[in-house]
Structure 1
């Protein structure tokens, strides 16, 4: 694939079809794999990657029309969740507080998918935010007047100008869904009472309207000759449900039946969203395999790269906008590639490299392997590579330096694997063994040579040249130690040196002079 064609993955100026992404060799590979998997025998089912491929190939690809249908279905269900949630005064107040808190903490990107892009126009986003707050305030004021339907629709339309995130939907729906689950549990409990103790609806209504401190509940169940333990448990359950009714009524201000119906609709909407997103995921799993295969020679398992690609695909699904006109695969490709390259940047190198540099390295490697090796059978020159990539020669040198993989000093070497690379590298701060031996032998001979002098002469030579001392001394310093003038010390030094230069003495050091030279 040429560099110009590769740019389509990052710049969505033109549509990239899934079929275009798969190169000829990849299409052939998919066809071969599909044929192999059709004849997959039981003994081969232990290989998880083959099982995964078999499942992937069983899913059909989606057309542009299918993607639009899924996008619309997801949006319709998200609107249903917002509509049911904003039908409650408590949730309208919660939405207002969420917006104010997010604005103060600069966290509106967590609540709206397109806020980052939308906020580039400061005046526009400010006007939108004020309009949203104004309509929420109007809804609060008109909530009990029965004029809320149009305002709710207007607020939802405003929210959909920059599309809500799953976090916003979850935050608005969570109390309703919690209450829905509790009410559903209560209905089951009521059915059990009705079935086990033959209670009609009027009696049950009376029981659940009593104050939990009233002894009528206990007296009623005592008539049924139940064990005391069972009566206590029933009393406790009934008291808990009565408490729940009071708290729910205080929070929502609506009957249980209405809350239950809203919860049912919201729950169904979330299930529909999940179902449609799963359909989009399954249809694009081949795209992940296609892109992961390009990076698999980088020292990582294909299964690991597919896992990372899946994460990128899920992010793409959350942010995809079917109204913009391009196919989902066009949009998802960038997210999948980013997820894989980020994973490689964090795991394949000892020293971490920025993701944008990793992308550049892969592009350069691709140009070298495809264009120059395949077409010319050689490496490109720096000038050729600079012309092809658009980078300067200085930057290419910098990138090539980064491309070199560091080798650990703990790398095991040798057939027996009993040594590491560290053992074969010279330590510049340590004396070599032969030098150490030479120095020891020289010290012994010098000591032996100095012994041929008188004690006074030996001491003066040692002090003047620092032999066996911390440092050498001047003539004056030596004179002070012996209580004589520096001139006398110079004379004694000259006599001692003449003695050391005598052939009978100097021959002791002759071999060291030859070795040292």
Structure 2
């Protein structure tokens, strides 16, 4: 049995000691570890994470009881949510995986959706979207770096772009004669298979798929509108669509038989001819962009809304059932320079990523997988926003581990451990330990007091740069920029970019609709529609309240 399996067995053993209890204090966790002689094998944080993953709340702070306190209200809301059993959770996860597979399988069905996928890839290349947001493919950091993972995805986008160009170059000449023939569909099937392979490799996230889906509605509306208009003319003439095709595409003898069979007058034939001409153009265009026969495509598009609703419903169920995990992990990072609610918000965002990437085939609970994502998000938030002059995220993790080991060895030995003992326990050399400690000692908190009194000034109070603007103003502007960025991140990449350009958010140079349209290769009206949709989202009360606070500064 390897060390990981042994640790998991010990964690399960510890959890079983609690019986049916749904909560435990941090002090009780530490006492039980010591009593059961497990403190050497298990770290307190690992136990807390495992308990949180099992739906057991670790009580560390007093929950505020004021009804108007947002934190109290949040705790009350999550306390009413039932925790899912492992079987139910896996059932939902399997359904989500099946749904996302069906949604991904839509992308290769039309040239427009393939082009949309390539456009999304350009956002990844330019940094408008991160690789974590772009794909739900998992990778092992031991085998491949995030940069290599991103490059692999971009290589797949390049291959997809090459396939797309070959597909388009095949379609254009086909309009002259082979459109709709058996050979035509066989060739398209080969293109379809190639695109499917690249999409499966890319494994696009729901966020990316959601931005591509509107093209299918456009295709359906484009085709169905003219199809319905043609059907109205057919109904008036009392003739079916196949007979109408034969009327205009078959020999003269067949044409005469149809006219006689349906007693078609000259005016009726003219009306049919005009309607058929318009419908044929639309049908040819739809056939051009589709990689499967039109009836099959329309059937698949008709199920899209149901698939999206099912995915969002299942995702919300899994997230709600695991929000306690986020709160429990956030408790470990309190008083580190980031507001508790901000930690929870970052953790919930990470939980969303974990839910979409969760692989039920592995057989364990979602919370076991989500812990890493949630902890990493909080560690990064502290590294970026905390009051300490910035430390790399890995060094913060190392310092946390170091403090726990020192505490553990002190209790075991009854004295302060030596650097050699600490290094051995941490699995590093004494020299590496010394280097890390020196790096930590070199960091100074801006909140460190210069005197012993409570009213003493801090280091941050006396640091001044006369060439800079007011610190309070600079801080306010920085926070405002961060809040604007967070709000823009709720939009699609294209919507966010249009808003940035329209209002000059990045370079203080607002652009006109025409200028933005030229940059995107879109019409002025299309840019106006994108802007209107984005502004409607931005007018949501929750977003307005965030920005209103800065107008009172």
TM-score by length of 1: 0.52
Matches within 5 A, 1:98-117: 112-114=135-137
Which range moved further: 288-297 or 395-404?
395-404
Report the 3-state secondary structure (helix = DSSP H, G, I; strand = E; otherwise coil) of the residue aligned with 2:444. Answer: coil
Match of residue 392, structure 1, among 398, 421, 429? 429
The alignment status of 1:165 with 2:219, answered yes or no, reads: no
User: d(CA) in 1 for partners of 2:85 and 2:218?
Assistant: 38
Matches within 5 A, 1:278-289: 278-289=316-327
In 1, distance between residues paired with 2:158 and 2:461?
A: 66
Q: Check whether the contact 2:383–2:393 (CA below 8 A) recurs between aligned residues.
A: yes
1:367 to 378, 402, 405: 405
* 2:356 aligned residue: 318
Question: Is this contact kept in 2: 1:70–1:276, CA < 8 A?
Answer: yes
Q: How many residues align?
A: 361
- Determine if the alignment matches structure 1 residue 69 to structure 2 residue 106: no
Pair 1:58 & 2:80 matched: yes
| CA drift at 1:299 | 4.8
Q: Report the counterpart of residue 216 of structure 2 in structure 1.
A: 176
- Change in Cα spacing, 1:26 to 1:100, as seen in structure 2 (3 Å) is closer
Aligned-pair CA distance for 1:298: 3.2
Q: Distance between the aligned counterparts of 2:22 and 2:401, measured in 1?
A: 18
- Tell me, yes or no, if structure 1 residue 358 matches structure 2 residue 381: no
- 3-state SS of 1:28 partner: strand
| Closer, same or farther: CA 301–138 of 1 in aligned 2, 3 Å | closer
| Whole-Å separation in 2 of the counterparts to 1:294 and 1:366 | 12
TM superposition shift of 1:343: 1.1
Aligned to 1:470: none
Please state whether the residue corresponding to 1:394 is helix, strand or coil. helix
Q: How does 1:131-150 map to 2 (within 5 A)?
A: 144=180, 145=182, 146-147=185-186
* 2:319 is equivalent to residue 296 of structure 1: no
CA RMSD of aligned residues (A): 5.8
Q: Is the 8 A contact 2:163 2:191 kept in 1?
A: no
Matching of residues 406-417 of structure 1 within 5 Å? 406-408=444-446, 417=455
Q: How does 1:340-355 map to 2 (within 5 A)?
A: 340-355=378-393
Equivalent position of 2:102 in the other structure: 80
Quote the offset at 1:68 in angstroms.
3.2
Structure 1 residues 157 and 62, CA gap change in structure 2 (3 angstroms):
farther
The 8 Å contact of residues 450 and 457 in structure 2, kept in 1 or not, is answered as yes
Query: Is 1:339 aligned with 2:362?
Result: no
Could you tell me how far 1:262 is from its partner in structure 2? 5.1
Shift of 1:166: 3.1
- Aligned partner of 2:255 in structure 1 is none
Q: Which whole-Å CA distance do the structure 1 matches of 2:126 and 2:326 have between them?
A: 36
| Alignment check: 8 A CA contact 2:57 2:324 kept | no
Per-residue deviation, 1:149: 6.9
> Could you say what secondary structure the match of 1:350 adopts?
coil
Distance 1:98 1:26 in 2: 48
Look up the match of 1:510: none
Consecutive unaligned residues in structure 2, runs of 5 or more: 26-55, 172-177, 238-278, 464-553
Which entry has the higher C-alpha Rg, 1 or 2? 1
Shift of 1:31: 6.1
Deviation at 1:267, TM superposition (A): 2.6
2:367: which partner in 1? 329
Aligned ranges for residues 24-43 of structure 1 at < 5 Å? 27-29=23-25
Structure 2 counterpart of 1:46? 68
Where does residue 216 of structure 1 map in the other structure? none
Aligned partners of 2:415 and 2:347: how far apart in 1?
33
* CA distance in structure 2 between the aligned counterparts of 1:68 and 1:59, rounded to whole angstroms: 18
TM-score normalised by the chain length of structure 2: 0.49
The yes-or-no answer on 1:275 pairing with 2:313 is yes
In structure 2, do the counterparts of structure 1 residues 128 and 290 end up closer, same or farther at CA, with 3 Å as the change threshold?
same
Structure 1 residue matching 2:333: 3-state secondary structure? helix
- Note if contact 1:309-1:337 (Cα within 8 Å) is conserved in structure 2: yes
Q: In 2, are the aligned partners of 1:412 and 1:419 still within 8 Å (CA)?
A: yes
